[in-house]
Amino acid sequence: MGKPDIEDIEIDLLLEAIYWRYGYDFRSYARASIERRTRQFLSVAGCASVSEMIPRVLRDEEFFSKLARYFSISVTQMFRDPLVYRAVREKVIPLLRTWPHFKVWHAGCATGEEVYSLAIVLKEENLYQRATIYATDFNDEALEQAREGVYEMEKMKEATHNYQQAGGKASFSEYYHARCGAAAMDAALKERIVFSSHNLASDSAFGEMHLVLCRNVLIYFNAELQNRALGLFTESLVHGGFLCLGTKEGLRFPEVNDQYETVDGKARIYKKKDVP
């Protein structure tokens, strides 16, 4: 057995330092992604090695915040994967109607585009006032942008196309206002959304959720953390509630998979089985 690579040891120590100092657990994130993003950060941080970063991370909270943003994946867009939102309209909404009030957890919401997309769907289906949407992420900077709901105007063209493909029932321009070259989401879309910090690697489950969405997040976790996150979602959902994952993700663990039935395989929407 050969000696471990020095940089591998350094990254292990860095992740341990972050966990014990700040409580953020990146130790179970996909290793290749962590290594790549650590090297990217090294090039802009002015450090000669990962070891040189560790004392700065421990003593400088702003330095850590910058590094954490590199580890956080905030790739998202309005009505990303339109087929998913169409499937939600057709296969999830009819059952959400059967509850007088329902709760949604959007885990790993990033900068919020997909949260507002769901809010639009619920408004068009006359269900928004029955909903409470908890939108969470561990990246506080991304959460702040999500709260503001202001996005680049140039992204609205693609957003409009996605909205139409997702079965939109109005003009997408009704849902935002042009402001200084940017698009500000309509304030009415924020009324039922609660944005808050949550770390899937270390925090606990939410209770009595009727719909959980966590899209294109699990692909950045290793198997252990994927299993933990799926366990949180399962614990959070009421029986008969829905779980919506990214189009490249699924229920790969038997202890979780056995608790669901597939609603739409292509859209990766699952329904938690009722109590036998």
pLDDT in tens, 32-83: 888 998 999 998 898 999 999 999 999 998 898 889 878 876 668 999 999 9
How confident is the model at residue 3, as a pLDDT? 65
179 — pLDDT class (breaks 50, 70, 90): confident
- b/e per residue, 161-188, with b = 16+ CB within 10 A? ebbeebbbeeebeebbeeeeebbebbee
Q: Assess whether pLDDT exceeds 70 at residue 190.
A: yes
Question: Does the model's pTM come out above 0.85?
Answer: no
CATH placement of domain 82-272? 3.40.50.150
Side chain identity at residue 36, one-letter code: R
Residue with tokens 């899209």: 215
The Cα–Cα gap between 15 and 24 comes to: 9
Using the Cα atoms of residue 116, residue 122, residue 128 and residue 131 in order, give the sign of their dihedral. Answer: negative
The Cα–Cα gap between 128 and 21 comes to: 40
Domain boundaries, the chain: 6-71, 82-272
Calculate mean pLDDT across residues 232-246. 96
How confident is the model at residue 1, as a pLDDT? 52
Q: Assess whether pLDDT exceeds 60 at residue 276.
A: no
Among 88-97, 136-145, 208-217, name the one with the lowest average pLDDT: 136-145
Which among 232, 230, 223 is positioned nearest to 204, based on CA atoms? 232
Using the Cα atoms of residue 93, residue 196, residue 16 and residue 220 in order, give the sign of their dihedral. Answer: positive
